[in-house]
């Protein structure tokens, strides 16, 4: 990550994992896009990690399973692509070369994780 010198807006992509000691529980993952304000790339990463750790939790679900949500990884932290937060502003982009893998992963495209 490159350093920046002005206070700016960043997008952090954060991956959480849900797990349980119950062997019948199927692990689940959540990808979150979080808007952060920071003075540098390094500060944005530190804030993303701190915020993510603070979101970790444990609870008992309606079927009695003990569920733990934990930070799996801060996937990316990037300054937003637009200088303003106006209508239509581009916030984040990433590129890939394997559309089939993306299609299989992204349920909104009809993909599955099977």
Pinpoint the alpha helices (H) of 16-65. 41-54
Report pTM. 0.80
Structure tokens at 58: 């444990």
Residue range 87-111, pLDDT digits in tens: 988 888 888 898 888 888 787 877 5
Residue range 12-60, pLDDT digits in tens: 999 999 999 999 999 999 999 999 999 999 999 999 999 999 999 999 9
End-to-end CA separation in angstroms for the chain: 34
Report which of 13, 1, 9 is spatially closest to residue 80, judged by C-alpha positions. Answer: 9
HSE-up of 93 (CA within 13 Å, CB side)? 5
Inform me whether the pLDDT recorded for 2 exceeds 80.
Answer: no
């Amino acid at each position: 990550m490159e350093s920046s010198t002005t206070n700016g807006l960043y997008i952090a992509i954060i991956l959480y994992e849900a797990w349980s000691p119950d062997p019948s529980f199927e692990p689940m993952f959540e990808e979150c896009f979080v808007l952060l304000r920071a003075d540098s790339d390094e500060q944005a990463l530190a804030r993303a990690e701190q915020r993510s750790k603070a979101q970790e939790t444990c609870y008992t679900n309606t079927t009695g399973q003990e569920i733990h949500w934990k930070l799996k990884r801060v996937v990316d932290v990037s300054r937003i692509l637009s200088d303003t937060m106006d209508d239509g502003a581009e916030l984040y982009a990433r590129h890939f070369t394997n559309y089939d893998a993306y299609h299989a992963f992204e349920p909104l495209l009809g993909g599955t994780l099977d």
